[in-house]
Every structure is written in C-alpha cells, then in structure tokens.
C-alpha cells in the first residue's frame, strides 16, 4: 500500500534545505547501493558522514515524530536516519528492490526495512522525468509530489526513478522498521485508526463505539506487534 504523507516539511524548511545543500559537494550515489542495484544507479548523494546530512536528517525525524498520518500508516519501531540524493542530466535509478537489512550509520545496529520513504525537495515543475515508479500487485504507480510531501511504500516493492531529462530532482530517502511486519496487517490497522479518528470528531472520545473500536485497535497491536 502506498501512502501520500503531505506537509512533512514546510515550504520554508524546503527552501532552507536547498540553500544549505547548494553549498556542499555531492558524491556518487553508488556508495549506498547494494551489489545488484549499483549497476542501475546513477545519481548523487550528500555524504553520509557530513554534518549537514546529520543536521537535516534530524529535522526530518523530528517532523515525522509529530506527524499523525505518518505514525498511523507506518507504526514505526525505528527509522534509518534520512539520506539525500539528487538527479540531473539524465541520471536515473533503474528497477531494483531495497536491501532487506540496513545498518544505522555510526553504529552496529541493524534494522529490517519494512517501508521505504521519499520526501520530495523539488517542486514537480522544477524537473522533467524523475518519477518514482512503484510496482505492486495492482500495477505500476508513478509518484511525483510537491516539495515537502512524502511517499511511503513497502520495501518489498520493485521501484525505480525514471531519467531526469531536464532540471534537478532533489529528495530525501530512508527506511522504517515497523512494529507491524506484515503489510496487510499494517494497512488494516491504518484503516481502523483512521476510522476511529473520524468517529472521535463526529461522536466524541467517550462514545461507546469509539471506545470499543479503540480497544480493538490496541488489542490487534498487542497481537501483531514485534518489539
């Protein structure tokens, strides 16, 4: 299931990110690619160990920690600190699947990649091409979102970034280990949670049906969660 998470970053934050990034030397994106995906990856990245990468990464993580739609959709256990890439001059990243296990930089801790995330840092009109294409059981989905918005999708999906034929596509990318490993179970919990939120607005927090559904939600979390 793909989830569009709007307004992870404000337009002012995006402008700040872009201004700071313009002052840093980028490196070849293959440095974070697996053996197979490196052969189809052509892009640039901010160095993982650069102080700016760590600073901007912290801003995104703080924003996600306060974003109710992200928390509802991902049910995150932990997050790989965000990285940053850019595509220009026909650069692309052909169809690939993300590594199942990734190490958190600067530590020996490893996470299972349940969900892949892209926060767009360029407006759609700033570049041609550069669509994120995700393949799932329902076909191919092309994604090109406003700057500051995020797409969240299962890391099991084949996906690609099509060639950027003009302009420059800048984004942040990272992975989430969810408390709920199974995508179908996670999607059911998301739908249930969104229903509860709507009913709370309509009926109030103390309505009997709201309380029953909230109880069901938490009992399903207890049944399925891996901590």
Q: Can you give the CATH number for the domain in which 79 is found?
A: 2.60.120.620
95/203 same-domain check: no
Q: Is there a single domain that holds both residue 75 and residue 168? A: yes
Q: Are residues 138 and 201 in the same domain?
A: no
- Same domain for 203 and 162: no
Residue 162, token pair as written in the block: 């099509």
Residue 131 and residue 161 in contact, taking contact as beta carbons nearer than 8 Å? yes
The whole-angstrom separation of Cα 78 and Cα 52 is 21
Same domain for 130 and 210, yes or no, is no
Q: What is the pLDDT of residues 189-220, one digit of tens each?
A: 999 999 999 999 999 999 999 999 999 999 99
**Which residues form the domain of 215?**
183-224
Number of structural domains the chain divides into: 2
Distance CA 55, CA 17 (A): 10
**What is the Cα–Cα distance from 205 to 191, expressed in whole angstroms?**
18
Claim to verify: residue 55 and residue 141 sit in the same structural domain: yes
Please check whether residues 76 and 129 belong to one and the same domain.
yes
pLDDT at 30: 78
For the chain, percent of residues with pLDDT exceeding 90: 89
Is 141 in the same domain as 106? yes
Q: Are residues 169 and 191 in the same domain?
A: no
Quick one: pLDDT band at residue 149, thresholds 50, 70, 90?
very high
Q: Are residues 61 and 130 in the same domain?
A: yes
Task: Please name the helix (run of DSSP H) or strand (run of DSSP E) that holds residue 83, with its range, or none.
Answer: strand 83-88
């Amino acid at each position: 299931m793909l989830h569009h998470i709007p307004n992870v970053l404000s337009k002012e934050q995006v402008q700040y990110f872009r201004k700071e990034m313009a002052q840093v030397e980028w490196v070849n994106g293959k440095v974070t690619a697996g053996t197979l995906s490196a052969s189809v990856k052509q892009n640039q990245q901010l160095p993982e160990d650069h102080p700016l990468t760590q600073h901007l990464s912290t801003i995104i993580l703080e924003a996600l920690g306060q974003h109710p739609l992200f928390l509802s959709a991902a049910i995150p256990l932990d997050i790989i600190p965000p990285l940053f890439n850019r595509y220009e001059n026909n650069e692309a990243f052909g169809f690939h699947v993300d590594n199942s296990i990734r190490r958190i930089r600067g530590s020996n801790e490893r996470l299972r990649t349940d969900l892949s995330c892209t926060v767009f840092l360029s407006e759609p009109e700033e570049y041609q091409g550069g669509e994120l294409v995700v393949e799932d059981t329902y076909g191919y989905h092309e994604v090109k979102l406003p700057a500051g918005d995020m797409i969240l999708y299962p890391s099991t999906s084949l996906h690609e970034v099509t060639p950027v034929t003009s302009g420059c596509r800048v984004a942040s990318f990272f992975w989430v280990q969810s408390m709920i490993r199974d995508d179908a179970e996670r999607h059911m919990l998301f739908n249930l949670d969104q229903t509860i939120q709507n009913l709370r607005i309509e009926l109030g927090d103390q309505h009997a049906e709201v309380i029953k559904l909230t109880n069901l939600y938490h009992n399903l979390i207890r049944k399925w969660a891996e901590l």
